[in-house]
């Protein structure tokens, strides 16, 4: 493809994306593709000779698009949001065009230094204490793994002597990180939660004490601000105090909820963040920055580098003593230039624009919670501190029958999703099946939330 052909196809691709965004509301949110449909539609071997771009693009529309689910749809209420805003997409396009690989300062000084600057901006915007230094990782799962590996390094004892603590509502990435860090299953303590699904900090203290008495070494405590199932917020301050008293690394997972701290009224949920050793929050969820962009903040950068730095001769440069080489701050050597899209986003919307968007989502979630609370036969299953409402329909004949309620609500969820107008997902809160309505897609307006509620209530029987 020569540069002029690229220009022509590039303009057409941008037009295609703009039309896609304009017409998103008329598409079904969730793909109706069945397992194997896409695979069967594709040839089993690559072409021997190159094909014309036009034909490839037609196949993209014909074969690939039917198998795509639309995270940017205004009817997106599934999982958590992942917002690919126009400025982020433009930045990603430029990065792709530059073919930037930003493992070291020398491989693109501007990429490293922009990352340093935007993470100070973000730290200050989100009320993160200034002793923390950030870097961009791909996902919160990776960031949590970094926390476990750094905790193990700092503890300085074999992994099989370390214990780790998190709540029964923590994200699955935490247990995965423990396994990858070599912490024995029998040393992983899953702490029960209270009736708001937040970690019971007093139980944590008791369990920590029992472990220390047995000669075990508390390695890491993970708390969550905004759990995946219900957005519960663990009491960060007492948890942090207990972790510190026992010498454990303290990691806070705010993958979803942390970016809402751009609002001063949300900050109290992060009280205790000053006690953390590490903290992760994902602009690629709620902060308009296309996937992937997870920001990981640590207090002790030398400890992070002691864990991850490798300095082979072929990567050394004369600038090394004076610059940051982000390859030493995580697992992969190669790094995408993610700071550019975050910079485009922060400048395009400004702090106030981002605040207004998140505040509107919080307000819509409160409103939906009110409708659920007021509706006969509906039950709200958890507090709503952020943008998620967990609820279920409880017909009188199924009162007290958890298995029956689960079947009934799963069928309701499927009927609602089959309309194509919205996409909702579910979870279990204890033994209770919950329909999750996560409000946070940037195209979602009040009328879309009203529609989701009308579908749920209207299709309940």
Calpha distance 408→395 (Å, rounded): 9
The helix-helix angle for 339-374 and 446-458 (nearest 10°) equals: 40
- Of the two residues 73 and 171, which places its CB atom closer to ligand PLP in the complex? 171
- Contact region for ligand PLP (CB under 6 A) — 115-123, 137-145, 176-184, 196-204? 137-145
If you write DSSP's letter for every residue of 289-336 in order, what string do you get? --S--EEEEES-HHHHHHHH----GGG--TTGGGS--GGGGSS-S---
- Contact region for ligand PLP (CB under 6 A) — 26-34, 105-113, 185-193, 221-229? 221-229
- Of the two residues 240 and 257, which places its CB atom closer to ligand PLP in the complex? 257
- Contact region for ligand PLP (CB under 6 A) — 66-74, 95-103, 252-260, 267-275? 252-260
| 167 contributes a contact to ligand PLP by CB under 6 A | no
Please give the distance of CA 448 from its chain centroid, rounded to a whole number.
Answer: 23
How wide is the angle at C-alpha 27 spanned by C-alphas 230 and 19, nearest 5°? 115
Calpha distance 341→329 (Å, rounded): 20
- Of the two residues 151 and 175, which places its CB atom closer to ligand PLP in the complex? 175
Strand partners, 76: 423
Q: C-beta of 313: minimal distance to ligand PLP in Å?
A: 34
Q: C-beta of 181: minimal distance to ligand PLP in Å?
A: 16
- Of the two residues 389 and 412, which places its CB atom closer to ligand PLP in the complex? 389
- Of the two residues 371 and 423, which places its CB atom closer to ligand PLP in the complex? 423
- Contact region for ligand PLP (CB under 6 A) — 100-108, 207-215, 253-261, 373-381? 253-261
For ligand PLP, the binding residue among 85, 107, 173, 417 (CB under 6 A) is: 173
What does R_g of the chain's alpha carbons equal in angstroms? 24
- Contact region for ligand PLP (CB under 6 A) — 135-143, 263-271, 306-314, 331-339? 135-143
Helices and strands (DSSP H and E) totals, the chain = 14, 11
Calpha distance 285→187 (Å, rounded): 32
Calpha distance 386→231 (Å, rounded): 7
| Interface positions, 272-301, toward ligand PLP (CB under 6 A) | 282, 294
For ligand PLP, the binding residue among 91, 102, 122, 140 (CB under 6 A) is: 140
- Tell me the C-alpha to C-alpha distance, in Å, between residue 179 and each of 141, 173, 182, 254, 303: 13, 10, 5, 21, 21
| 80 contributes a contact to ligand PLP by CB under 6 A | yes
- Of the two residues 217 and 438, which places its CB atom closer to ligand PLP in the complex? 438
Q: Are 393 and 372 in contact, with CB atoms under 8 Å apart?
A: no
Check residue 58 and give left, alpha or beta (phi > 0: left; psi -120 to 50: alpha).
alpha
| 255 contributes a contact to ligand PLP by CB under 6 A | yes
| 139 contributes a contact to ligand PLP by CB under 6 A | yes
- Contact region for ligand PLP (CB under 6 A) — 177-185, 219-227, 241-249, 322-330? 219-227
Q: In this structure, what token pair is assigned to residue 53?
A: 């771009």
| Interface positions, 227-246, toward ligand PLP (CB under 6 A) | 227-228
Contact positions vs ligand PLP (CB under 6 A): 80, 139-141, 171, 173, 224, 226-228, 253, 255-256, 282, 294
């Amino acid at each position: 493809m020569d540069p002029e052909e690229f220009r022509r196809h590039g303009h057409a691709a941008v037009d295609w994306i703009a039309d896609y965004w304009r017409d998103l509301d008329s598409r079904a949110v969730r793909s109706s593709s069945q397992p194997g449909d896409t695979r069967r539609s594709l040839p089993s071997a690559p072409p021997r000779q190159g094909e014309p771009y036009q034909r490839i693009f037609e196949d993209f529309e014909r074969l690939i698009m039917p198998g795509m689910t639309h995270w940017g749809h205004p009817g997106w209420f599934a999982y958590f949001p992942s917002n690919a805003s126009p400025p982020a997409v433009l930045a990603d396009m430029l990065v792709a065009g530059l073919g930037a690989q930003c493992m070291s300062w020398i491989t693109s000084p501007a990429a490293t230094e922009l990352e340093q600057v935007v993470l100070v901006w973000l730290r200050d915007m989100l009320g993160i204490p200034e002793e923390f230094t950030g870097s961009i990782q791909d996902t919160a799962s990776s960031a949590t793994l970094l926390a476990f590996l750094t905790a193990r390094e700092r503890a300085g004892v074999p992994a099989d002597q370390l214990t780790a603590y998190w709540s029964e509502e923590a994200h699955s990435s935490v247990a995965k990180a423990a396994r990858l860090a070599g912490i024995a299953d029998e040393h992983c303590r899953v702490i029960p939660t209270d009736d708001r699904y937040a970690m019971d900090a007093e139980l944590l203290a008791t369990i920590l004490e029992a472990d220390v008495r047995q000669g075990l070494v508390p390695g890491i405590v993970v708390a969550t601000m905004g759990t995946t199932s219900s957005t519960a917020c663990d009491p960060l301050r007492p948890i942090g105090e207990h972790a510190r008293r026992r010498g454990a690394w303290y990691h806070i997972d705010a993958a979803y909820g942390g970016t809402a701290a751009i609002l001063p009224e949300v900050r109290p949920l992060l009280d205790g963040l000053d006690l953390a050793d590490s903290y992760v929050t994902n602009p690629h969820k709620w902060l308009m920055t296309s996937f992937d962009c997870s920001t990981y903040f640590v207090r002790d950068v030398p400890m992070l580098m002691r864990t991850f730095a490798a300095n082979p001769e072929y990567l050394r440069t004369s600038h090394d003593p004076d610059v940051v080489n982000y390859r030493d701050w995580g697992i992969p050597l190669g790094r995408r230039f993610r700071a550019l899209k975050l910079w485009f986003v922060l400048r395009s919307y400004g702090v106030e624009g981002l605040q207004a968007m998140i505040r509107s989502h919080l307000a819509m979630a409160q409103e939906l919670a009110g409708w659920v609370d007021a509706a006969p036969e509906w039950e709200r299953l958890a507090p709503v501190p952020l943008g998620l409402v967990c609820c279920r329909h409880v017909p009188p004949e199924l009162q007290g029958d958890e298995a029956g309620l689960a079947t009934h609500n799963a069928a309701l969820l499927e009927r609602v999703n089959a309309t194509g107008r919205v996409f909702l997902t579910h979870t279990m809160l204890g033994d209770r099946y919950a329909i999750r309505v996560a409000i946070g897609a940037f195209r979602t307006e009040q009328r879309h939330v009203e529609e989701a509620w009308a579908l749920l209530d209207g299709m309940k029987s």
